[in-house]
């Protein structure tokens, strides 16, 4: 007798047989699908974590640079109040645009 597993005579009754000679059932298929899904999810999570760790410093550096540029641009500016004549002129321009 050989050590190989005996192949089923009726695949519908005994379950399906794949190329490796192992039985495949719905439960086995679902188990494989779930394990594969978990592996893909874990890989995606690990890749995201690695990407975040690699690019975190770059994002923080850019943010600090943008804050510095905003402070520099606001340094030379100061608030100038509008006169009543300027306000009336601006209102007339808005009303003319609205018509």
Q: Residue 66 above 60 pLDDT? A: yes
Report CA torsion sign: 47, 52, 53, 55: positive
Q: Does residue 79 lie in a domain region?
A: yes
Q: Residue 62 above 50 pLDDT? A: yes
Number of domains present in the structure of the chain: 1
pLDDT of residue 1: 46
Average pLDDT estimate for 58-79: 84
Q: How far apart are CA 43 and CA 47, in angstroms?
A: 6
Q: Does residue 3 lie in a domain region?
A: no
% of the chain beyond a pLDDT of 70: 76
Q: Does residue 28 lie in a domain region?
A: yes
pLDDT band, very low/low/confident/very high, at 37 (cuts 50, 70, 90): very high
The per-residue pLDDT of the chain, averaged, comes to 79
Q: Does residue 5 lie in a domain region?
A: no
pLDDT of residue 59: 77
Phi and psi, residue 16, nearest 5°:
-80, 150
Q: Does residue 29 lie in a domain region?
A: yes
Domain that holds residue 72: 11-98
Name which residue leads in pLDDT, 23 or 81.
81
Specify the length of the chain in residues: 99
Q: Does residue 19 lie in a domain region?
A: yes
pLDDT of 13-33, one tens digit each?
A: 455 555 555 656 778 788 888
3-state secondary structure the chain: CCCCCCCCCCHHHHCEECCCCCEECHHHHHHHHHHHHHHHHHHHHHHHHHHHHHHHHHHHHHHHHHHHHHHHHHHCCCCCCCCHHHHHHHHHHHHHHHC
Q: Does residue 23 lie in a domain region?
A: yes
Q: Does residue 1 lie in a domain region?
A: no
């Amino acid at each position: 007798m050989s050590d190989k597993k005996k192949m089923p005579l009726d695949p519908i009754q005994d379950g399906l047989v794949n190329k490796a000679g192992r039985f495949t059932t719905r439960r086995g298929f679902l188990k494989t699908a779930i394990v594969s899904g978990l592996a893909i999810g874990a890989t995606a999570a690990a890749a995201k974590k690695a990407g975040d760790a690699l690019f975190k410093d770059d994002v923080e550096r850019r943010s600090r640079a943008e804050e510095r540029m905003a402070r520099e641009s606001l340094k030379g500016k100061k608030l100038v109040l509008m006169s009543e004549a300027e306000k009336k002129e601006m209102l007339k321009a808005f009303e003319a645009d609205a018509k």
